[in-house]
């Protein structure tokens, strides 16, 4: 999982800035508006000429968020920690 395949991170107990609660948010790869309803897209996965996913690099958003969440490139369990994610527009 550290260098290939897709990664999905589900954030539960989401509270909007106005205090309203909403359903969970998913962070996953994608690049099309149709991929993003209720989700945060981390960029499209890259594929080779045969359609196989290429290894992730340390600059890929998918790699970076996985590393930040798990604290390692090779997680074996889900961490028991609280994470706050703030999304803003530039």
Taking the whole predicted model, whether its pTM rises above 0.75 is answered as no
CA–CA dist 73, 63 (Å, integer): 8
User: pLDDT confidence of 28, banded at 50, 70, 90?
Assistant: confident
For strands 25-28 and 9-11, give the pairing: antiparallel
Per-residue pLDDT reduced to its tens digit, 45-71: 788 999 887 877 888 887 787 788 888
pLDDT exceeds cutoff 70 at 3: no
Q: What is the mean pLDDT of the chain?
A: 76
What counts of helices (H) and strands (E) characterise the chain?
Answer: 1, 5
Cα–Cα separations (whole angstroms), residue 28 to 3, 24, 73, 85: 15, 13, 17, 15
Identify the pLDDT of residue 49. 94
For residue 67, the cross-strand partners are: none
For the chain, which residues make up each domain, given as ranges?
1-90
């Amino acid at each position: 999982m550290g260098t290939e395949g897709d990664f999905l991170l589900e954030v539960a107990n989401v509270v909007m800035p106005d205090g309203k609660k909403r359903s969970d948010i998913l962070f996953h790869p994608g690049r099309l508006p149709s991929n993003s309803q209720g989700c945060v897209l981390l960029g499209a996965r890259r594929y080779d000429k045969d359609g196989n996913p290429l290894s992730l690099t340390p600059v890929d958003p998918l790699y970076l968020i996985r590393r930040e969440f798990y604290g390692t490139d090779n997680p074996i369990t889900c961490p028991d920690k609280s994470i706050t994610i703030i999304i803003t527009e530039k």
